[in-house]
Structure 1
């Protein structure tokens, strides 16, 4: 299990302890800027390996560091988990049973995800369709449901799949990391499934709803990555799936949500616009490296 930490509080550490109680091989990858040596010592004393990644490569870097550690131990299935996710007692048993049911050693399996803020399950997208459309997971009451991608937290990646697909893209840093990985998996003939028998509840951002618009109210710098990586991931796969038309729609939707629901509108719209242009031209890496002045403006 790769458990990613970011300036964890007491509740996050309880989630980590609960995970350790049901999974023997746990690697805590701390992406906090500064190492908490006291915390790391306590975790190691509890049998949890700790890697201080200091946010190098963002969430992708944390996943890759944890994966290399678990692969070196000979682990055959790699679970990804962030500190906010809460697991039921039967989570791992249900997920491992699903992995066994795939019938292959190359796979990605994710739980069905209930988004608390939205009050509904996240949809699935059929990998066969030229023009994928969202399908209700409730319409698939049991078994493994093929999909284009899964949310990273709670997902299981076989060691063989990770070696075949390759590492998570650290030049994406954060946002759309899991979507790009799922699309790349499908292109490399690695099947991706939703396990309908297991549920993961997640709550992303600070939810705001006004009329028909709702938003997770992320900070401006995350808006940059969401805009840029969406454009890049969808354009990069437009030869396989007719999804490039979503680019402008997603960008306009982000802008509309910011203007209607959020504060710091100018900073966020600037971040979205700059991200859109960078995505079109394939300019990846960190916001600070690409646009130090704009990034500084968007952080205040």
Structure 2
């Protein structure tokens, strides 16, 4: 492995994982020397799925139940930094790492024309193989906010801006840490030369008018945190380009919720409770 790769640890967040997580960890181990798997569902089924991982190169970190995305990622990142790694590369279990991805991220990180912050890959829909419009390009380009999965962090950056905000629990955790990096003078980069296959939620196929669409089928709890945390992050950082992009995405997602998904009343109720609590939220 190149020197930068040797100094990089992988982190994978697991929540009721399927056998697919073993394949993803194996792919990660072709690019990094060690992977920390954070088990956010410490039940017997999850432990059995994770038991077959390479004990010499994989450390499973059992959590006390579902501590959330932010705290889960932080547990893995702290373990990696405490073990002496200078870079941490994080994933959730809905993403598949591509060959050569880490090298592409480190090449972008080596840019000298900007103060590089978080670096992450472009995204491709795992269900269809389509590359999203905003993820088409060449080389790397500045972006306000990257999704957490596939993102590469340096020790120097984390020492300055801190880890994820655990009070957010899930959703907009990635926006918050990205925007904190930007506020500290860093430039976050999206790397178009490598693609992360990613699924949002259940990715259940459905028919909407004449089109085939994919439904996330997020729970009411997830809609609550999405709504609440969007308000919190807007209050912290203001409605920049990230917010305009997010509103467009959210509008499309809610059309599918209202037309195609089950349990709509509970999801709508959770959305409005999240708005209320986001407005009432008090920073510690």
TM-score where L is the length of structure 2: 0.82
**Residue 59 of structure 2 corresponds to residue 49 of structure 1:** yes
1:100 aligns with 2:110: yes
1:195 to 191, 198, 213: 191
- Seen in structure 2, the aligned counterparts of structure 1 residues 284 and 116 have a Cα distance that, compared at 3 Å, is farther
Aligned positions of 1:63-74 closer than 5 A: 63-74=73-84
Report the aligned-residue RMSD.
3.0
The Cα shift of 1:241 comes to 3.6
CA distance in 2, matches of 1:260, 1:143: 38
Contact 2:90 2:150 in 1 (8 A): yes
Name which of 176, 180, 185 aligns with 1:180. 176
Question: Aligned-pair distance for 1:13?
Answer: 1.4
Higher strand share: 2
- Identify if the C-alpha distance between structure 1 residues 19 and 144 changes in structure 2 by more than 3 Å, giving closer, same or farther: same
Query: What is residue 294 of structure 1 aligned with on the other side?
Result: none
**How many angstroms apart in 1 are the aligned matches of 2:131 and 2:142?**
16
Shift of 1:29: 0.8
Indicate the SS of the match to 2:217: coil
SS at match of 2:29: helix
Alpha-carbon shift at residue 103 of structure 1 (Å): 6.5
Note closer, same or farther for the CA distance 1:53–1:283 as it changes in structure 2 (3 Å cut).
Answer: farther
1:131 aligned residue: none
1:171 equivalent in structure 2? 167
Aligned residues: 270
Q: Which residue of 1 aligns with 2:147?
A: 151
Q: Give the unaligned 5+ runs of structure 2.
A: 1-9
2-side partners of 1:73 and 1:100: how far apart? 23
Change (3 A) 1:236 1:262: same
Matched, 1:22 2:18: no
Partner of 2:5 in structure 1? none
Asked whether the equivalents of residues 35 and 59 of structure 2 are also in contact (C-alpha less than 8 Å), the reply is yes
Distance 1:280 1:255, change over 3 A: farther
What pairs with 1:1-300 in structure 2 (closer than 5 Å)?
1-34=10-43, 37=47, 42-43=52-53, 45-55=55-65, 57-102=67-112, 107-116=117-126, 120-122=130-132, 136-138=134-136, 141-205=137-201, 206-207=203-204, 208=206, 210-211=208-209, 215-238=215-238, 241=240, 256-282=255-281
**Residue 96 of structure 2 aligns to a residue in which SS?**
coil
For the Cα contact (< 8 Å) 1:230–1:247, is it kept in 2?
no
Larger displacement relative to structure 2 (202-211 or 176-185): 202-211
| Separation in structure 2 between the aligned mates of residue 22 and residue 246 of structure 1, nearest angstrom | 32
* Residue 56 of structure 1: how far off its partner (Å): 5.1
Partner residue, 1:289? none
| Offset at residue 121 of structure 1 (A) | 3.7
Unaligned runs of 5+ in 1: 124-135, 286-300
Q: Which stretch of structure 1 is more off in the superposition, 179-188 or 200-209?
A: 200-209
Cα displacement (A) at 1:260: 1.4
TM-score by length of 1: 0.78
Distance 1:25 1:252 in 2: 40
Cα distance, 1:103–1:70 mapped onto 2, change above 3 Å: farther
